Amino acid sequence: MLDTACRSQSDPHAIALANAKNLPTGKRRLHATPIKRILDRHSREVVGWLYEWNTGAQVPMWKDGRKSDVIYE
């Protein structure tokens, strides 16, 4: 199940660019695929997409900034 809570912390999956160069290829974020749409809970408008990276990390990409009351479809 996806965690839909809004957090003000930085992305826990984020890797500093300087450190990314030293990671093995299997641990680097090289490409991502959209796996779900993120919708506003009330209007059902698309506010972003959930991407899954080659590392397995799932990261939201927002259209106009992070939203707090959303559902994943």
What is the distance between the alpha carbons of residues 32 and 24, in angstroms, rounded to a whole number? 17
Q: Report domain extents, the chain.
A: 27-72
The pLDDT value recorded for residue 22 is 62
pLDDT on residue 25: 63
Beta carbons within 8 Å of 18's beta carbon, 6+ residues apart: none
Q: What is the mean pLDDT of residues 22-42?
A: 86
| Between 23 and 56, the higher pLDDT residue | 56
Q: Is the pLDDT of residue 7 over 50?
A: no
